[in-house]
Amino acid sequence: MTEIELLNWARGPGLQIATIIFVAGVVIRIIEILMLGRKPNLAEAKGSEMSAGLKTMVSRTVPDRATFKRSSFTITAGYFFHLGLFITFFLFAPHILLIKDVIGFGWPALPTPVVDAFAVITIISLLAVLVNRLTNKVMRYLTNFGDLLTWFLTLAPLITGYIAFHRIGFTAPTLLAMHILSVELLLVVFPFTKLMHAFTLFLARWYNGAISGYRGVAS
């Protein structure tokens, strides 16, 4: 297979396979969660579940001061790389073309040099995140193979994307194919790992807010 054929496979059948596994995995897991249901709460409510749940879905994004002080590196590095991932994926012109092709609409892009800079920041953040994970006592205790695997799968598209854009090391079709394949690998493994939090955290935060809100506490 020539490198162009590999690239076209990645852009075609490869992406189809990855999409199938990704979509199936995510949908099945979410339905698995929801269908377990909750027992109805028979106590007298002090607040509204729905509005509290919705609030927490957003408010939990902002840590309280004391917690931030105690976990400032974890939180800061975490935000840097999440923001960076968002910017490099959703606000880069070639990616928006891809998204537009799949969902039918797009949006304006950030200037490419800005995205390029954020890619570097994101890569550095992810490296910092790994160092933190391996040196922080608590994280080291909690860390398992899945954590390391997902870290690698998240970093790979960033690095392959960066070198594809800057055309470092291999010929262009190979670089681009590697980038697209790394994303497909991420998609395929996604539903089987903690990366599901990208979807389930909204459920979790809602439940948290709802449970507390029922009792009149904004969590």
Partner 1 sequence: MSASLDKGINALKQQVDATVAAFFSSCVHCGICAEACLFYTETGDPERTPINKTEPLRRIWKSEYTLMGRLGKLFGLGKKVDDKLLADWETLVYDSCTMCGRCSMVCPVGNDITLMIRKTREGMAAAGHAPEGLIGASKRSVTIGSPMGVKLPALLAQVRHVEEDTGLKVPLDVVGAEYMLLLSSMEIMNFPEFIGAIAKIFDRANVSWTISTEAFEATNSGIQIGVSDIAAELVQRIVDAAEKLRVKTVISPECGHAYMAIRWDGPNLVGKKFGFKVRHVLEVLDDLRQQGRLKTSGMEKGKLTYHDPCQISRRGGVIDEPRRLIDMVSDNFVEMPDHGKMNWCCGAGGGVSANERADEIRLKVFQRKKDQFDAIRPDAIVSACSNCRIHLEDGLEEYNMDIPLLSLTEMIAEHLAGDDRAGAA
Partner 2 sequence: MMKDQSIQDGSPELVTPEARKPDKGTLGEALHRQGVSRRSFMKYFASTASMLALPPAMLPVIARALEQTRRPSVIWMSFQECTGCTESFTRAHTSTLEDLIFNAVSLDYHHTLQAAAGHAAEAAREAAMEENYGEYLLVVDGSIPAGNPGYSTIAGVSNLDMLKETAKGAAAIIAVGTCSTFGGIPQADPNPTGAVSVGDIIKDKPIVNVPGCPPIPVVMTGVLAHFLTFGTLPELDHLGRPKTFYGKSIHDRCYRRPFYDKGLFAETFDDEGAKKGWCLFKLGCKGPTTYNACATVKWNDGTSFPIEAGHPCIGCSEPDFWDGGGFYRALSMPTENIAKTAVYTAAGAAAAGVVLGAMNRAKKRASDKIHIKVTIDDLEK
Interacting residues toward partner 2 by CB under 8 A: 2, 4-5, 7-8, 11-13, 15-16, 19-20, 23-32, 34-37, 93-95, 97-98, 101-104, 109-113, 115, 167, 171-173, 176
216 binds partner 1, rule: CB under 8 A: yes
Q: Write out the two tokens for 39.
A: 């027992």
The entry of partner 2, partner 1, none near residue 201 (CB within 5 to 8 angstroms by kind) is partner 1
Q: Is 44 a residue that touches partner 1 (CB under 8 A)?
A: yes
CA distance 150 to 142: 14
Is 47 a binding residue for partner 1 by CB under 8 A? The answer is: yes
Task: Give the footprint of partner 1 on residues 138-177 (CB under 8 A).
Answer: 138-144, 147
**194 belongs to the binding site for partner 1 (CB under 8 A):** yes
Cβ contacts of residue 213 below 8 Å, gap of 6+?
47, 48, 49, 51, 52, 53, 55, 56, 219
Residue 4 is a binding residue for partner 1 (CB under 8 A): no
207 Rama sector, left if φ>0, alpha if ψ -120 to 50, beta otherwise:
alpha
Nearest to 164 by CA among 111, 207, 119: 119
| Nearer residue to partner 1 within complex by CB, 133 or 179 | 133
Q: Is 168 helix (H, G, I), strand (E, B) or coil?
A: coil
- Does 41 contact partner 1 by CB under 8 A? yes
Is 46 a residue that touches partner 1 (CB under 8 A)?
yes
Distance (Å, rounded) from C-alpha 168 to C-alpha 152? 20
Q: Which of 103, 108, 137, 168 binds partner 1 (CB under 8 A)?
A: 137
Give the side-chain half-sphere CA count within 13 A for 148.
Answer: 7
Nearer to partner 2, 23 or 198 (CB): 23
